[in-house]
A and B are shown apart, each in its own frame.
Chain A
Amino acid sequence: MVQAAVQNSVKPGKWINSTCKMCLHSCSIRVHVTDDGVVNKVEGNPTNPSNESGICPKGNSAIMRLYDPQRIKTPLKRTNPKKGPGIDPGWKAISWEEAMDIVCTELKKTLDEDPRKLLPAINDFHKLYLWAWPAAFGGNANYFSVVGTLCGGGYHPMNGFIHSSFAAANDTNYCNYWINNGGCDGFSSHLHVAGAARHMANARVDRGMHLVTVEPRLSSSAAKSDEWIPIRPATDRHFALGLCHVLVNEKLCDYDFLKNDTNAVYLVGPDGYFVRSKEGNEPYVWDSVDNMAKTWNDETIKDYALEGSYEVEGVTCKPAFQLFKDTVDSCTPEEMEKITTVPASTTRRIAREFAKAASIGSTVTIDGRTLPLRPAAYNYYRGAQGHKTGSMSNHTYKLVNFLIGGIDTPGGHVGCTLDDAKIDNSHVFEGEGGMILPTPHQLGVAPPFAYPPNTAHLMDYFPIGVNPGHLIAETFFNPEKWGYDFTPDTMLIAHSNPLWNMNGPQDKYFEMVRQMRFVVAIDILLNESTEWADVVLPAHDNFERWNMTMIEPPLTEGQCLTQPVIEPLYDSRSEEDIFNEISERLGILDIWNEIQNQVNQFAGDPELELKPGIKYGEREIAERKAKLWDGKSLEYYMEHGHTSTMRRPDKWYRPWEGKRLHFYIEMIVAERDKLRKNMEEAKVPFIDEWEWEDYQPLPTAVLDPVHLEPEEFDLLAISFKDVQLNFGENLSIPWISDIVYNDPVHMGVLINPKTAADRSIEDGDLVTITSSYGSIKGLAKVTEGIHVDAIAVSNALTRWTGYHAIVKAGGGNFNRLLPANLKNTDANSGQMECTAKVKVKLFRKKPVDRNEAERMLRLHAFSK
């Protein structure tokens, strides 16, 4: 007879509601713990309207993270001073007392000498407040990582300018025509995959939503689309400009929206600033009926000019819309085809389909509020936005949505907040001149300008940007050029893998770490970076810790609780406890509490505020965040797991009603001029190297410099992830590793059959991929699912740690094919170029079998 109850989920035990942490986001889960205290099943929590009972393969694998035999079990001290990939650190288990003594002594030395000498890489997305800890360390604003910049350098500030939000998503509730460009929302990645996939499937299958995917690779989004439009890498902005050309020139725009809800009608002078009234400094518009300039708030305005050139008080000026039209007029689909390879007829057809689906003029009533219904939306992410022209690229995709009136409206492209903190918090504020306040600093205020620089990565020069951590590759070995009066010598890596993520000269980053006086790492598993630490401190796994978070959910709002389901398996501590003890011993606890009060919005509330002298643990922080949201107790969350509800229409749709959006971003011009003035006054020697052309209030059609690399590099290489992967870090889990390495897209470098044949390359051959900046190796995977001018390298092929039983080494990290210099960085947003211009050559004919292939890849993981 078959035994009863052999399946894990129905064995005697209890279910605990919590939050998944197998990616950046926060799907709700329920976790089964047997009566014997073993965690043996994880499922989605059906009460969360985002993911309901579903979770993705990563979430399903979480138990194997908890029980990974190679988890760090005690604090470790390095005994082998030699550092390098594959070099045995000679770990010795030590007590917390000894570990903290060493760590605090070293950090105190750095703090006393010069706090700027610390290079932090603190990247736990679920605990964003920890990222602010360096500010307590003597105001340190360094960032030795490019987490957040690779995917979101241009992205986040632009969302701040346009929606006053951190992220953006197409409105699954009403959209009927969805374009995915360089990002696979609803399929494999970006926001809350399990929830997004559910609602995407519902929209496609139940509502018949039409889906178009524009990207170089046949991703899962492309495979499920009604149409895949292959595009040459790093030309997406040109495709979008082509769409805009059609929308503008065939008069397929939402003119009411542009005239009444945006600053597209504001008159711009030759200096790039709005032409303003002497009294009140209000921007002018041109009344096209009365044929005269009036301030934007003049009640006698009869109609607005969107086009034309006018004279106002002696200044020649044009409405912002006209400036954009001037640019897109020459971006004909035919011209854009030369750059993108997307046929002109396709661009025209897509633009017309898009505009038709947008149903300009139609409305829908939601909760008694009548709103413009525009069920056509252009979504985009990492692949489309990760370029030197980051800001302009992001802006262009927004403008496609602007033109058909689809910003923040039912069916359209909507700003998605990160963490509202309080249920009634609005994320939109009133700015001047009738516009919303632009809020590019979505991750916190940038450090002030300084010369000599106070940050190792020149963040003092990115007033509206996101940390360009990779610029340390320019500054560290060349301090005189940049005027540095300090040299970093300490590293703190918490929940991060900078040596893996940083783009650019990998050997230089290795050398930087070797030159550190002291490196401390805080994590649950060792990785490519933390292998180099002098002391390692074990943190709790997600099933062992407390947290409260809301992380840019596209469908819902509300806080999600993480609670321990078992006692910690090992001698680990919470990250909060670790930072609290370090802070107390360094004498910076009070400052740290103050900073937490600011970033968590506890300040001013006596019940929530962290008081001086007290160390607040993770549970206490979680409890406060719970109370802050809507007053509910931690006990409520312990029972229910979350307070997620579908996004409130009053906050989701047009929260800026009555104010104007930034079609034209004057702030970019103003910040450019402020920065230039600061640099002139301080006599900054590299002022002429600064990429001033990057500060554009409207996008241009300039080519990204990657296209101007030497001709010998004749292909464009991209990297990608898929739904099974979170940065590739979860390849240490056998369940994930096994499904990934049986999927052809992760088994080699993707290359088109014609492209391969032209280079005498066959499926399975070992090839070298070289750019101006570096070289990697890979096994060729010939596929029809990739553009002829592109090759694609999965994140699954980029790891190299040799110590872990499961992680497979690839032939080198894709990111070292990329530059890490000013020329290929957006001076405006900090965004680095993520596409590499490469040449691909046969290195060795097909290895005999998989094992030999892997051996060869390991061998060449670090060759030049």
Chain B
Amino acid sequence: MTIWGMVMDLKRCIGCNACSVACMQENTTPRGIRWTETVSEEIGVYPNATRSYVPLICNHCEDPPCERVCPTKATFITEDGIVLVDDEKCIGCGACITACPYKNRYKLKPQPFKAGLYSKGELTPFEDQGYRRFVLGTTVKCTFCHNRVEQGLDPACVVTCPAKARIFGDLDDPNSEPRKLIQARKGYQPRAELNTKPKVFYVD
């Protein structure tokens, strides 16, 4: 049974945020909403200072609080482990946004759709063809690019990463790239103690 997961290779990541832009490009997310991004933090004191780059994304948890709290069962998990939102069922109550400990869920508000990416009150042809998928007032999040995955393609962020820092694959297959990486480089989950069973792992 295929269970999709991802590994973030922190040794490779250079914090360029190509992933962020690729996702915005792929999904035509409105301005202000990023389903994935890479954050950076300074560590240490000069001259022994360094900086970390950490890619963040919805962890497509196996036991996600978002699914538990959803009153209409709009949030659901596919057979292959992808956590999605059915925007025909979503009533925009926001409980899932509060429940998500990773803050990876977002409410669609009217203003960015009205203003457009260029804040000019008009939409580019790109936005016009892309915004149609969205239902105002519902919650949106990373979908592990399930449209692409259905066709055997990797998610957009994985494909674009110049440093090949994102590795996507079947966590149920011990020979998959992510599984081998988790094994070889001691992969760990973000905030594992919260017991949401994230399917995104990190290796140092």
Tell me the smallest distance from the CB of B31 to a CB of chain A, in Å.
6
Contact (Cβ within 8 A) B26 A7:
yes
Tell me the smallest distance from the CB of A184 to a CB of chain B, in Å.
9
Contact (Cβ within 8 A) A220 B46:
no
Contact (Cβ within 8 A) A55 B148:
no
Contact (Cβ within 8 A) A53 B16:
no
Tell me the smallest distance from the CB of B102 to a CB of chain A, in Å.
18
Q: Does A315 contact B (CB under 8 A)?
A: no
Contact (Cβ within 8 A) B16 A57:
yes
What sequence of 0s and 1s flags, for each residue 164-200 of chain B, a beta carbon within 8 Å of any chain A beta carbon? 1100000000000000000000000000000000000
Contact (Cβ within 8 A) A60 B25:
yes
Which of B47, B85, B122, B143 counts the most A-chain CB atoms under 10 A from its CB? Answer: B47
Q: Does A8 contact B (CB under 8 A)?
A: yes
Q: Does A723 contact B (CB under 8 A)?
A: yes
Once A44-B159, A60-B160, A752-B46 are accepted as A-B contacts, the answer to whether A10 and B147 lie under 8 Å apart by CB is yes
Once A2-B86, A7-B147, A54-B18 are accepted as A-B contacts, the answer to whether A41 and B12 lie under 8 Å apart by CB is no
Question: Bound state CA distance, A44 and B84, in angstroms?
Answer: 27
Question: Bound state CA distance, A44 and B157, in angstroms?
Answer: 12
Contact (Cβ within 8 A) A198 B162:
yes
Return chain B residues, CB-CB under 8 Å to A787.
46-47
Q: Does A68 contact B (CB under 8 A)?
A: yes
Q: Does B119 contact A (CB under 8 A)?
A: yes
Question: Bound state CA distance, A51 and B40, in angstroms?
Answer: 24
Contacts of B138-171 to chain A: CB distance below 8 A: 143, 145, 147-148, 151, 153, 156, 159-165
Contact (Cβ within 8 A) B45 A784:
yes
Return chain B residues, CB-CB under 8 Å to A2.
84-87
Contact (Cβ within 8 A) A230 B16:
no
Contact (Cβ within 8 A) A8 B53:
no
Q: Does A321 contact B (CB under 8 A)?
A: no
Return chain B residues, CB-CB under 8 Å to A168.
none
Contact (Cβ within 8 A) B46 A786:
yes
Contacts of A716-774 to chain B: CB distance below 8 A: 723-724, 734-736, 738-739, 743-744, 752-754
Question: Bound state CA distance, A55 and B153, in angstroms?
Answer: 17
Question: Bound state CA distance, A224 and B163, in angstroms?
Answer: 12
Return chain B residues, CB-CB under 8 Å to A59.
18
Return chain B residues, CB-CB under 8 Å to A739.
17, 20-21, 37
Contact (Cβ within 8 A) A61 B21:
yes
Contact (Cβ within 8 A) B122 A69:
yes
Contact (Cβ within 8 A) B163 A40:
no
Q: Does A516 contact B (CB under 8 A)?
A: no
Q: Does A1 contact B (CB under 8 A)?
A: yes
Chain A, Cβ-Cβ closest to B11: A205
Residue in contact with B118 in the complex, picked from A43, A202, A806, CB distance below 8 Å: A806
Tell me the smallest distance from the CB of B50 to a CB of chain A, in Å.
5
Residue in contact with B25 in the complex, picked from A42, A218, A806, CB distance below 8 Å: A42
Size of the chain B interface, CB-CB below 8 angstroms: 61
Tell me the smallest distance from the CB of B177 to a CB of chain A, in Å.
13
Q: Does A859 contact B (CB under 8 A)?
A: no
Contacts of A785-831 to chain B: CB distance below 8 A: 785-788, 805-806
Once A10-B148, A61-B21, A723-B16 are accepted as A-B contacts, the answer to whether A805 and B119 lie under 8 Å apart by CB is yes
Chain A, Cβ-Cβ closest to B21: A60
Question: Bound state CA distance, A60 and B145, in angstroms?
Answer: 16
Contacts of B28-82 to chain A: CB distance below 8 A: 28, 31-32, 37, 40, 42, 44-47, 49-53
Residue in contact with B51 in the complex, picked from A41, A42, A785, CB distance below 8 Å: A785
Question: Bound state CA distance, A59 and B156, in angstroms?
Answer: 13
Q: Does A487 contact B (CB under 8 A)?
A: no
Return chain A residues, CB-CB under 8 Å to B118.
68-70, 734, 805-806
Q: Does B117 contact A (CB under 8 A)?
A: yes
Q: Does A301 contact B (CB under 8 A)?
A: no
Return chain A residues, CB-CB under 8 Å to B52.
223
Tell me the smallest distance from the CB of B127 to a CB of chain A, in Å.
8
Contact (Cβ within 8 A) A187 B14:
yes
Contacts of B108-123 to chain A: CB distance below 8 A: 117-120, 122
Q: Does A289 contact B (CB under 8 A)?
A: no
Residue in contact with B147 in the complex, picked from A6, A67, A198, A205, CB distance below 8 Å: A6
Return chain B residues, CB-CB under 8 Å to A188.
14, 16
Contacts of A176-211 to chain B: CB distance below 8 A: 187-188, 193-195, 197-198, 200-202, 204-205
Return chain A residues, CB-CB under 8 Å to B42.
218, 744, 783-785
Question: Bound state CA distance, A447 and B124, in angstroms?
Answer: 47
Q: Does A56 contact B (CB under 8 A)?
A: yes
Return chain A residues, CB-CB under 8 Å to B31.
734, 738
Contact (Cβ within 8 A) A54 B117:
no
Tell me the smallest distance from the CB of B57 to a CB of chain A, in Å.
15
Q: Does A450 contact B (CB under 8 A)?
A: no
Q: Does A560 contact B (CB under 8 A)?
A: no
Tell me the smallest distance from the CB of B173 to a CB of chain A, in Å.
22
Question: Bound state CA distance, A5 and B42, in angstroms?
Answer: 40
Which of A7, A8, A44, A753 counts the most B-chain CB atoms under 10 A from its CB? Answer: A7
Contact (Cβ within 8 A) B119 A228:
no
Tell me the smallest distance from the CB of A568 to a CB of chain B, in Å.
14
Contact (Cβ within 8 A) A218 B21:
no
Return chain A residues, CB-CB under 8 Å to B3.
none
Q: Does A599 contact B (CB under 8 A)?
A: no
Once A187-B14, A736-B21 are accepted as A-B contacts, the answer to whether A223 and B160 lie under 8 Å apart by CB is no
Contact (Cβ within 8 A) A5 B46:
no
Return chain B residues, CB-CB under 8 Å to A41.
25-26, 156
One of A31-39, A99-107, A626-634 at the interface: A31-39
Tell me the smallest distance from the CB of B36 to a CB of chain A, in Å.
11
Residue in contact with B12 in the complex, picked from A5, A10, A38, A205, CB distance below 8 Å: A205
Once A8-B26, A743-B40 are accepted as A-B contacts, the answer to whether A55 and B46 lie under 8 Å apart by CB is no
Q: Does A4 contact B (CB under 8 A)?
A: yes
Q: Does A425 contact B (CB under 8 A)?
A: no
Residue in contact with B120 in the complex, picked from A1, A7, A753, A805, CB distance below 8 Å: A805
Question: Bound state CA distance, A588 and B119, in angstroms?
Answer: 45
Chain A, Cβ-Cβ closest to B31: A734
Contact (Cβ within 8 A) A9 B148:
yes
Question: Bound state CA distance, A36 and B128, in angstroms?
Answer: 12
Tell me the smallest distance from the CB of A858 to a CB of chain B, in Å.
17
Question: Bound state CA distance, A70 and B122, in angstroms?
Answer: 12
Chain B, Cβ-Cβ closest to A202: B164
Once A9-B156, A56-B162, A64-B126 are accepted as A-B contacts, the answer to whether A784 and B49 lie under 8 Å apart by CB is yes
Contact (Cβ within 8 A) B16 A197:
yes
Q: Does B99 contact A (CB under 8 A)?
A: no
Contact (Cβ within 8 A) A224 B14:
yes
Chain A, Cβ-Cβ closest to B203: A205
Return chain A residues, CB-CB under 8 Å to B100.
none
What sequence of 0s and 1s flags, for each residue 1-30 of chain A, a beta carbon within 8 Å of any chain B beta carbon? 111111111110000000000000000000
Once A38-B126, A67-B125, A805-B120 are accepted as A-B contacts, the answer to whether A57 and B18 lie under 8 Å apart by CB is yes
Return chain B residues, CB-CB under 8 Å to A744.
40, 42
Once A55-B160, A739-B37 are accepted as A-B contacts, the answer to whether A218 and B49 lie under 8 Å apart by CB is yes
Return chain B residues, CB-CB under 8 Å to A42.
25
Return chain B residues, CB-CB under 8 Å to A67.
124-126
Question: Bound state CA distance, A67 and B143, in angstroms?
Answer: 26
Question: Bound state CA distance, A170 and B46, in angstroms?
Answer: 28
Question: Bound state CA distance, A202 and B162, in angstroms?
Answer: 11
Chain B, Cβ-Cβ closest to A46: B159
Contact (Cβ within 8 A) B147 A784:
no
What sequence of 0s and 1s flags, for each residue 310-349 of chain A, a beta carbon within 8 Å of any chain B beta carbon? 0000000000000000000000000000000000000000
Question: Bound state CA distance, A788 and B27, in angstroms?
Answer: 43
Q: Does A675 contact B (CB under 8 A)?
A: no
Q: A7-B147, A8-B129, A67-B126 known; 9 other A-B pairs, CB under 8 Å?
A: A43-B160, A59-B18, A68-B124, A69-B118, A194-B18, A198-B164, A220-B14, A734-B117, A805-B119
Please name the 7 residue pairs, one residue from A and one from B, whose CB atoms are nearest each other, closest first: A67-B124, A60-B21, A784-B49, A6-B133, A223-B51, A201-B163, A197-B162
10 contacts between A and B (CB under 8 A): A40-B126, A55-B18, A55-B160, A61-B21, A187-B14, A201-B162, A223-B15, A752-B46, A783-B42, A785-B51
